[in-house]
Homo-oligomer: A and B are copies of this chain.
Amino acid sequence: MSKVFAGMAASLDGYVATRNGDLSWLNQAMSSDEDYGFAATMKRTGAYIIGANTYREMIESGMAGGGTTPTYVVTHQQSIKGSGKEVGNEVSFYSGDLRMLVERAKRETNKDICLFGGADLVTQFIELDLLDELGISIIPVLLGDGVPFFGRFNEWKRLTLFECKEYKSGIVLLNYRFAHS
């Protein structure tokens, strides 16, 4: 049974990005000697679900396109597709019900499904009990301001910690499971 998982890096004060998109706080904290599991994450992933804003940022930074893993971009508009940028053959745009999207993705792969931001989409997935695993890499820095890594929930969500990994760089990876009601 494939799982839906999300992973993110956040500052100790809970921000996933600065207001101006400066990533040096993250790049400076990471060490090239450490395995943060990116390769293992790619290997387990049979489909990506990505928010429209995050996807637009990926296109603009040259990080999107060319992959062979099915990728669903959740959007309320089709304008990204019309931007003329290369989006890859496996990318499709989706604007319907999120439960049905997860069902569709699960029909098409036996591997896991990676939810890749942003905060609004992750929050919606959590509210709808669609997220099975949440991994957070806590970067040893206080940013003081930025983009929060969660929106607001209507009720508390309890989690079960199943992995706590400390790196020499001071980064700590925390992996949680959600108990679905």
Contact = CB atoms under 8 A, between A and B. Distances in A.
B136 A12 contact: yes
A155 B142 CA distance: 8
A156 B174 contact: no
Task: Say how many copies of this protein the assembly contains.
Answer: 2
Contact of A158 (B141, B150, B166, B172): B141
Interface string A1-29: 00000000000111000000000010000
Interface of A: 12-14, 25, 126, 136, 138, 140-145, 148-150, 152-161, 164, 166, 170, 172, 174, 176
Top 8 nearest A-B pairs (CB, nearest first) are: A144-B153, A14-B14, A161-B170, A164-B166, A142-B157, A140-B159, A13-B150, A145-B152
Contacts of A149: 13
Nearest to A174: B172
Contacts of A150: 13, 142, 144
26 contacts: A12-B136, A12-B159, A12-B174, A13-B14, A13-B149, A13-B150, A14-B14, A126-B142, A138-B174, A140-B159, A140-B176, A141-B157, A141-B159, A142-B156, A142-B159, A143-B156, A144-B150, A144-B154, A144-B155, A144-B156, A145-B153, A159-B170, A161-B166, A161-B170, A164-B172, A170-B176
Given A149-B13, A152-B145, A160 B174 contact: no
Contacts of A145: 152-153
Among A12, A148, A157, A176: residue with most chain B CB under 10 A: A12
Contacts of A126: 142
Given A142-B150, A172-B172, 20 more contacts: A12-B136, A12-B174, A12-B176, A13-B149, A25-B156, A126-B142, A140-B158, A141-B156, A141-B158, A142-B153, A142-B156, A142-B159, A144-B153, A144-B154, A144-B156, A145-B152, A159-B170, A161-B172, A164-B166, A170-B176
